[in-house]
Amino acid sequence: MSEFRFSGSVELTADDKNRFRFPAKYRECYASTTDEVSEVYILKTLNSKFLTILPKSVADKLIDQLQSKMVLTETRESKIARYYLSRIEASKVDTQGRFIISSKQMGDLHIGKEILMIGAGSQIQVWNKADYEADCLELEEQWLKDEADAERTGLDDIVIGL
């Protein structure tokens, strides 16, 4: 289990050099870990509408797991591992807390100078704000339908029981 507990959301705007400032609320998550906010790893997963930002220690574990799936013969697992290993990009975080998301990664998701960062446990998700709001609306509509159909899930019961 990761020691990171990213949560909440932050809207960010890129500067003239397409750098984003790593939010203070997420830098604070690093304070209780051995990780430093000097480098983050950015990845787009299959079928996702967002980029995933991983702290170095979390990315190192993921890379180790992916490398263990790489074999000399082409297997489904080795192809998937190669796919992800080729798409993880390191981004240095400078002394002022700025980092760059590659133009390729931003273009894949139609992300412009304004992004929405969402804390998601051991990772941070980077969304196009309009896509995130549409995704939330779709989810809320599905929840209302499920609630009407009395098909709540165990996760619903955990959140509702808080």
CATH number of the domain that 85 lies in?
Answer: 3.40.1550.20
The 10s digit of each residue's pLDDT in 103-140 is 888 887 888 888 999 999 999 999 999 999 999 999 88
Mean pLDDT of all residues in 93-111? 87
What is the model's pLDDT at position 151?
A: 59
Torsion angle defined by CA atoms of residues 31, 90, 58 and 28, in that order, rounded to the nearest 10 degrees = 20
Residue range(s) defining the domain that contains residue 96: 9-127
* Mean pLDDT, the chain, whole residue set: 86
- Establish if 2 belongs to a structural domain: no
Which whole-number Å values give the CA distances from 144 to 102, 136, 149, 153, in the listed order? 38, 12, 9, 12
Indicate whether 41 belongs to any domain.
yes
Crossing angle for the helix pair 76-85 and 56-68, to the nearest 10 degrees: 150
By percentage, how much of the chain surpasses pLDDT 90? 45
Percent of the chain topping pLDDT 70: 88
**pTM as predicted:** 0.81
The answer as to whether 1 is a domain residue is no
